[in-house]
Amino acid sequence: MEIRNLGGSGLRVSAVGLGCNNFGQRIDLEASRKVIHKALDLGITLFDTADIYANMGGSETVLGTALGDRRKDIVLATKFSKPMASDGTRQGASRRYIIEAVEASLKRLNTDYIDLYQQHDYDPLTPIEETLRALDDLVRQGKVRYIGNSNFPAWRLAEAEYVARAMNVTRYVSCQDEYSLVVRDIEKDLLPAAQHYNLGLLPFFPLASGLLTGKYKRGIAPPEQTRFATTPRLRDRYVTPRNEEIVEKLEAFATARGHTMLELAFSWLAQRPQVSSVIAGATRPEQIEQNVKAIAWKLSADEMAEIDRITLG
C-alpha cells in the first residue's frame, strides 16, 4: 500500500482510505468487523467516518467496538457540524458545540484522541475565528491531532488559511469534497485553492455512487438491491444523458487497455493534484481487495489527456 502525506502536514495516510458510512447502517457489527479487519490486513490506514453516519452515531460506535487494540494502527478521521438533532440545537461550528461534539465522538469511538477532526460543512452563523480557536484548543489538549474541512467553497478555504495564520492557530491540513470522473466541479476554484495552500484532498464518492463501476448500462434498469435501484434520488442525480455517454466512452477506454472501470476511476483520482487518499466505502471484504488493487494503474500523460477529452468535452 502506498503511503502519502496529507497535504503539507506530517500526517501519513494510505492512498486508499476506507469510508465508514456503511457501518451500523447497511451492514451490522459483525459484517463491519470483517470489512475493517480486511482493510487493516491490506494496509489501509485511513478510516473516515462522521458523527452523523448511521443514524447519528452508529458508524462511530461500530468503529469504537470493532477496532480494539488496532486503534493505534490507523489514522482515525471523523467529522462534526452536520445536524445531530432535529431541533437545530446540536450542529454547527461554535465553540460551545465543538466541545460537546468532540466529547461525544471520543466516547462513541472508544478512544482518547482523533487523528483528523473535520468540519463537515461551513457554518455561516459562526465566525471562523471562533471555530479555529476552539479547534486549536482541542489540538493543544491532545484530543485532536490535525484538523480538516469538507464541503467548503474555495473562498472559505482562503479565509480559513488567512485567519489561522493571523491568529497563529492550527490550520486545516485537508479538504474532503466530491470528486470523480463525472463530477469535476472542484477543478474550477477549490482544487486550485487546495494546491495553493497545500491542503490534502480526500475525494469522496469516487465512483459516483456506483455509476463508475460499470454495473449500470444505458437503457437497462439497475440491478435489484443496487444503490440506484433502492435510492431513486441518487439515480436521478448521476444517471444523466451526459454521464451515460461519458461512462460508455470511459468503459471503451479502459477495456482497450485491459483494465476495469473501477481501476480507471481510482487510478485517475490517485494521480490528480493534491489527492492524498481515495476514500471508498465497502460492505464486503472482497470490495476492499478490489479497491486496493484499483490504484495500481499508472496512467500516462497521453492517457490523462484523453480522459480529459472524454470527460470535459
pLDDT in tens, 1-10: 999 999 999 9
Q: Which CATH number do you get for residue 35?
A: 3.20.20.100
pLDDT at position 221 over 90 = no
The pLDDT of residue 232 is 73
Q: For 100-111, write each residue's pLDDT tens digit.
A: 999 999 999 999
Mean pLDDT (the chain, rounded): 93
Domain that holds residue 154: 3-209+261-298
Contact 124, 94 (CB under 8 A): no
User: What's the pLDDT at 181?
Assistant: 96
Query: Under 8 Å CB-to-CB from 297, ≥6 apart: which residues?
Result: 259, 263, 264, 267
Pick from 156, 15, 152: which is nearest to 75 by CA?
Answer: 15
Q: Identify the CA nearest to 302 among candidates 257, 258, 238.
A: 257
Number of structural domains the chain divides into: 1
Give a yes or no: residue 21 inside a domain: yes
The predicted pLDDT at position 260 comes to 94
Tell me if 7 is assigned to some domain.
Answer: yes
User: What 3-state DSSP class applies to 19?
Assistant: strand
Per the model's pLDDT, the better-predicted residue between 217 and 75 turns out to be 75
Which helix (H) or strand (E) covers residue 116, if one does?
A: strand 114-119
Residue 197 pLDDT exceeds 80: yes
Segment 178-205 shows an average pLDDT of 96
Q: Write the CB contacts of 40 (distance below 8 Å, at least 6 apart in sequence).
A: 70, 73, 74
Residues 225-266: tens digit of each pLDDT: 677 766 778 777 888 888 889 999 999 999 999 999 999 999
Catalytic positions:
53
- Asked if pLDDT for residue 151 goes beyond 70, the answer is yes
| The pLDDT of residue 306 | 96
CA 267 from chain center: how many Å? Answer: 16
Rounded to 10 deg, the angle between the 154-167 and 190-197 helix axes is: 20
Question: Is the residue at 250 inside a domain?
Answer: no
pLDDT value at position 313? 76
Query: pTM (2 decimals)?
Result: 0.93
Going from the C-alpha of 239 to that of each of 183, 184, 279, the distances in angstroms are: 12, 16, 22
pLDDT at 223 over 90: no
Cell readout for 221 is 434498469
- Tell me whether residue 214 is in a domain: no
